[in-house]
Amino acid sequence: MQKDALTLQRDALALQRDALALQRDALALQRDTLALQRDALALQRDTLALPNLICNE
């Protein structure tokens, strides 16, 4: 009986570890997505500034 409880506890800890790894991966994806959004906005800003640069030459 005690062995079963220890096995369940070990399995529960393994599941917690896996859940934390998934959360870490999700946060990394969110970070990467935000970086891509930031870069896209910078490109958009630069694209919108192009006509002003061309007219000022």
Is the pTM for the entire model greater than 0.85? no
pLDDT tens column, 21-53:
999 999 999 999 999 999 999 999 999 998 887
Mean pLDDT for the stretch of residues 4-14: 95
Model confidence at 57: pLDDT above 70: no
Model confidence at 54: pLDDT above 90: no
pLDDT score recorded for residue 20: 98
Give the helix ranges, DSSP H, for 1-57.
2-55
> Which residue from 22, 15, 20 is spatially nearest to 7, judged by alpha carbons?
15
Model confidence at 3: pLDDT above 90: no
